[in-house]
């Protein structure tokens, strides 16, 4: 495990260093991108990065305000140890999943994933936010997707890919969890989705006040 203290790049100062934090988040490292960590830190979140096999009990002992499930490569279905850990965290703590983390969360909820005929690669994928109606131009790099129909009645579809109409996000408000298939931290690239880090903070606040 290691702490991350570097924030996002600010011209002309360079990468910012944060010393005062309001929240504490444990981030599972399934292949985490540094800009995810920087985006968290820039939102006054103290981040502890833990290995992919860290048990859910260990995570809860750390008493974080939330858990981030990171991006990573490949097929999520064989990563059974991660799915089991996530399943045991659901409902106990706020969870935000990105990319592979989104897929693992769906599997932990009892859903299914499938291999895309054409993987999503690049920085110009249009995604519709079904809650606001806004169209986001997103950065994506994945070959598998969540079968949202397999979660019917359990999770809400929040984001939709406008190229092939596949799932790009899900949430269960009462369980304090949400996830997206794309990369909200992308830099250089689209910055349309940085609001998701604020949504994570709001979810942690809501959990504290429940």
| Residues acting as catalytic residues | 99, 183, 185
Residues 6+ apart with CB under 8 A from 172: 109, 154, 155, 156, 178
CB 46 within 8 A of CB 3: yes
Instruction: Identify the CA nearest to 58 among candidates 71, 67, 70, 47.
Output: 67
Measured CA to CA in angstroms, residue 104 lies from 5, 146, 162 at distances of 26, 9, 23
> Across the chain, which distance is largest between two alpha carbons, in Å?
49
Question: Which one, of 179, 172, 174, lies nearest residue 142 by Cα?
Answer: 179
Distance CA 57, CA 61 (A): 6
Contacts of 32 (CB under 8 A, 6+ apart): 49, 70, 71, 72
Q: Please give the angle made by the CA atoms of 175, 177 and 178, to the nearest 5 degrees.
A: 140
């Amino acid at each position: 495990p290691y702490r991350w203290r570097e924030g996002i790049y600010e011209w002309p100062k360079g990468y910012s260093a944060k010393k005062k934090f309001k929240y504490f988040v444990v981030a599972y490292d399934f292949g985490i991108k540094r800009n995810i960590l920087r985006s968290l830190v820039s939102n006054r979140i103290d981040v502890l990065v833990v290995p992919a096999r860290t048990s859910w009990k260990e995570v809860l002992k750390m008493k974080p305000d939330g858990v981030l499930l990171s991006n990573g490569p490949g097929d999520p279905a064989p990563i059974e140890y991660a799915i089991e850990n996530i399943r045991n965290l659901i409902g106990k703590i706020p969870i935000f999943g990105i990319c592979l983390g989104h897929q693992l969360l769906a599997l932990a909820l009892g859903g299914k994933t499938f291999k895309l005929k054409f993987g999503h690669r690049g920085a110009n994928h249009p995604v519709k936010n079904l809650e606001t109606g806004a169209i986001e131009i997103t950065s994506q790099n994945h070959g598998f997707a969540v079968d949202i129909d397999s979660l019917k009645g359990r999770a809400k579809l929040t984001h939709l890919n406008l190229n092939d109409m596949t799932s790009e996000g899900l949430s269960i408000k009462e369980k304090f969890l949400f996830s997206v298939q794309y990369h909200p931290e992308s830099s250089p690239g689209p910055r349309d989705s940085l609001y998701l880090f604020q949504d994570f903070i709001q979810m942690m606040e809501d959990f504290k006040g429940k």
